[in-house]
C-alpha cells in the first residue's frame, strides 16, 4: 500500500485565515476522495503563535486589539474584518468578530498536542477554532479549555492535568522551532510531504491539485498501488 501523503499545517487558533485554510483544505481533500485512485492523506497540525505577548484576558474587542497591535486606523481594521468575514462565509464559516474574546493561545496549542497524543487532534483543533471564531468562547483559560476538550471527546481530567502541568509546552516550542527552520513567518502554512510549501488560505481546488500531483509523482516513481 502506498504511504499516505503527509500534510503538516502550521496555524494559530487566533488566526482567521487559518480556519478558512483548514476548511478549504478539507474541501479540497473531500473532492479528491472521489477519484478512482484517491490519494491517502494524513493531516497534522503544528503550533504557531501570532501574538505570544497577548494577555490571557485582553480588555477590549478584536477591533481594539488590532488597532493597538498593528497600529492601523480603526476604519481600516473594520474593513479588513468585514473582508475576512465575507471570505469565511464563502468557506461556510460564520465569523463573529463582535463577540470574539481575544486571548493568548499557548494553552490552546498545548491542548492540541494533548489531543494528538490521544488520537483527537483534528477534532480538538476544529472545536477550538469553532468556539473562538463563531461562538465567542474563551480559549485561553484552563477551565474553558477543559470544557472544549470534553466536547471534542477527550477526558476532561486528563486534559486538565496536561494543561496545569504544562507538559506539552516543549512540544509547542518544538513546532515553533521547526517553523523557524522552514522560514515560516506567517500562517497558515502547509508543508506537503516535507518538500512542497503552500502559504496562505488557498482555495480548495489548489489543495486538490497538489494532492493529486504528489500522488501521481509517487505512482510514477513506482510505489506499489494499494
pTM above 0.85, yes or no: yes
**109 neighbors 47 (Cβ within 8 angstroms):** yes
The answer as to whether 87 is a domain residue is yes
What does the pLDDT read at residue 223? Answer: 58
CATH of the domain at 11: 3.40.30.10
What does the pLDDT read at residue 71? Answer: 85
What does the pLDDT read at residue 72? Answer: 87
Peptide bond into 188 cis (omega under 30): yes
What's CA 107's distance to the chain center, in Å? 14
d(CA 60, CA 152): 28
Question: What is residue 20's three-state secondary structure?
Answer: helix
Total domain count for the chain? 1
The answer as to whether 226 is a domain residue is no
Range of 103's domain? 5-220
The answer as to whether 23 is a domain residue is yes
Reading the block at residue 28, the C-alpha cell is 479540497
**224 neighbors 2 (Cβ within 8 angstroms):** yes
Provide the 8-state DSSP code for 96. Answer: -
**134 neighbors 154 (Cβ within 8 angstroms):** no
Reading the block at residue 78, the C-alpha cell is 473594520
User: Please, which residues have CB within 8 angstroms of residue 114's CB and are 6 or more apart in sequence?
Assistant: 149, 154, 158, 159, 162, 163, 168
HSE-CB at 88 with a 13 A cutoff on CA atoms is 20
d(CA 214, CA 220): 10
The answer as to whether 117 is a domain residue is yes
CA torsion sign, 19 to 20 to 23 to 29?
A: negative
The answer as to whether 225 is a domain residue is no
Reading the block at residue 51, the C-alpha cell is 501574538
**184 neighbors 8 (Cβ within 8 angstroms):** no
Provide the 8-state DSSP code for 118. Answer: T
The answer as to whether 35 is a domain residue is yes
Tracing cell 497524543 back to the chain, one arrives at: 117
pLDDT along the chain (226 residues), means of 10: 91 98 98 95 97 92 88 93 98 97 97 98 98 98 98 98 98 98 96 94 97 91 60
d(CA 172, CA 106): 8
Amino acid at each position: 500500500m502506498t504511504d499516505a501523503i503527509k500534510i503538516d499545517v502550521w496555524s494559530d487558533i487566533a488566526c482567521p485565515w487559518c480556519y478558512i485554510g483548514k476548511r478549504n483544505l478539507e474541501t479540497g481533500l473531500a473532492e479528491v476522495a472521489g477519484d478512482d485512485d484517491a490519494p491517502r492523506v494524513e493531516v497534522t497540525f503544528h503550533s504557531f503563535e501570532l501574538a505570544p505577548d497577548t494577555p490571557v484576558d485582553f480588555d477590549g474587542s478584536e477591533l481594539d486589539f488590532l488597532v493597538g497591535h498593528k497600529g492601523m486606523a480603526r476604519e481600516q481594521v473594520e474593513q479588513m474584518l468585514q473582508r475576512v468575514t465575507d471570505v469565511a462565509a464563502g468557506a461556510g464559516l460564520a465569523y463573529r468578530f463582535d463577540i470574539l474574546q481575544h486571548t493568548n493561545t499557548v494553552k490552546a496549542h498545548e491542548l492540541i498536542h494533548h489531543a494528538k497524543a490521544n488520537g483527537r487532534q483534528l477534532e480538538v483543533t476544529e472545536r477550538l477554532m469553532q468556539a473562538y471564531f463563531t461562538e465567542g468562547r474563551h480559549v485561553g483559560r484552563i477551565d474553558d479549555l477543559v470544557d472544549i476538550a470534553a466536547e471534542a471527546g477527550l477526558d476532561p481530567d486528563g486534559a486538565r492535568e496536561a494543561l496545569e502541568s504544562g507538559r506539552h509546552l516543549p512540544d509547542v516550542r518544538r513546532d515553533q522551532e521547526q517553523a523557524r527552520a522552514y522560514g515560516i513567518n506567517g500562517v497558515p502554512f502547509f508543508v506537503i510531504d516535507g518538500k512542497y510549501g503552500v502559504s496562505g488560505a488557498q482555495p480548495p481546488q489548489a489543495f486538490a491539485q497538489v494532492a493529486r500531483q504528489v500522488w501521481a509523482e509517487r505512482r510514477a516513481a513506482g510505489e506499489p498501488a494499494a
